[in-house]
Amino acid sequence: MTSFVATERISQTCPSGDGQRLRLFSGNSNPALASEISSYLGIPDGPRVSKRFADGELYIQIQESIRGCDVFLLQPTCAPVNDHLMELLIMVDACRRASARQITAVVPYYGYARADRKTAGRESITAKLVANLLVEAGVSRVLAMDLHSAQVQGYFDIPCDHIYGAPVLVDYLATRDLGEVVVVSPDVGGVARARAFAKRMDDAPLAIIDKRRSAHNVAQSLTVIGDVKGKTAILVDDMIDTGGTISQGARLLRERGAERVIACATHAVFSPPAIERLSEPGLFEEVLVTNSIPIAKELHFPQLQVLSVANMLGEAIWRIHAESSVSSMFR
C-alpha cells in the first residue's frame, strides 16, 4: 500500500486534449496534504485566488481553463467545519461554471458525519444535509476516507468511493515488535472496523469494550469482553475527538492487565481536552493517527505518530480518473 509509482503511469497513459485531463485544486483546510498528493500524482496544485471580503464572505476564482477537465477538489471539512464546507461548495460552483467535465470532491475527513441519524425528536440528520448540498452544488463524485458510519456513503445520490486509513496504520505497526497482540474496539458500534483491522494483522484476536454514553462527547466505559492480559492492546477507532472514549478504554485495558496500549485512529480531531488525556504518562505507548486533518504543532505530544495517507489518496484519485478499480487497493 505504500509503494505506489503513479508518475510512471501518468506519463505513459494520461491522455491530453480529449476531455479527460486531470486537474487538482485544494482548499485551505490541509495544504500540506495537498502538496504531498500533488507530488505523488506529478501534477501541480492548480492556481486559484482565495480571499475574504471585509464582511467575511469568501471569494474563489480558478485561474486556468478547466473546460472539459476531470477536476478533483481536495478539502477535508475539519474545524472550522462551516468555513471549510462553504469554501468547498464555492470551489465546486466555480468549477461547474467553468465547464469542468467531472468534479470529484476529495473529502478525507467528512464533517458532520456523526449526525447520521435521529436519536431524539426534531433533530437534523446533518450528514445527509451536507451530502445534498454537495450534490446540488455540482459534485459528480465523492472520495471520502473512513466515514463515521457505513450508511453515510448511501446518503449521496452520486457515486461515493470510500477508502480506509487502516492499511497505512497496519504498515506502521508491522515495523514494531508488538509481541502478542489483541485488537480492541472501543465500543460495540466499532466492532466491524476493529474486525477488519484485526484481519489485516494476521487475524489477531478481538476484544470489545462495552461503553455507554450519557451525553454528547461524554462516555463511560464499563467492561472488556475478551482476553487482554499480558498482551499489546491496539485500540482502533475512526477518529479521536475529545479523547474521552479512547482514554477511558485504555485505562480499563490497563486495569485488565494489558501490557501495552496503542491507539489507532484515522482522523485526529483533537478537541480539548484531548491532548491532556492522550499524553497522560503510562497510559498510551503510542497514539497513531493520519494527516487527513492538519495537526497544529502545539497539539503534538511525545506519544503521537502522524502517518501520511497522501499516497493512498493520490492512488485513488488516479484510479478514478483512469476509470479503474478503487476497491482493489484494499484486497
Enzyme catalytic residues: 211
Helix (H, G, I), strand (E, B) or coil at 262: strand
Q: Establish how many alpha carbons lie within 13 A of residue 49's alpha carbon, considering only the half-sphere containing its beta carbon.
A: 7
Beta-carbon count within 10 A of 222 CB: 10
**Which of the 8 DSSP states describes residue 248?**
H
Residues in the chain: 331
| Closest to 36 (Cα-Cα) out of 310, 328, 316 | 310
Beta bridge partners of 107: 144
Answer for the pair 32, 293: CB distance below 8 angstroms, yes or no: no
**Which of the 8 DSSP states describes residue 15?**
-
* Cα 172 to the center of its chain, rounded Å: 17
Helix (H, G, I), strand (E, B) or coil at 45: strand
Q: Checking phi first, is residue 112 left (phi over 0); if not, alpha (psi -120 to 50) or beta?
A: left
* Amino acid, res. 207: A
Calpha distance 21→13 (Å, rounded): 11
Residues whose CB falls within 8 Å of the CB of residue 198, separated by 6 or more in sequence, listed in order: 183, 204, 205, 206
* Cα 111 to the center of its chain, rounded Å: 10
Question: Can you read off the three cell numbers belonging to residue 164?
Answer: 480506509
Query: What are the distances in angstroms from CA 65 to CA 37, 72, 97, 200?
Result: 21, 14, 11, 43
Our CA angle for 269, 28, 148, nearest 5°, is: 35
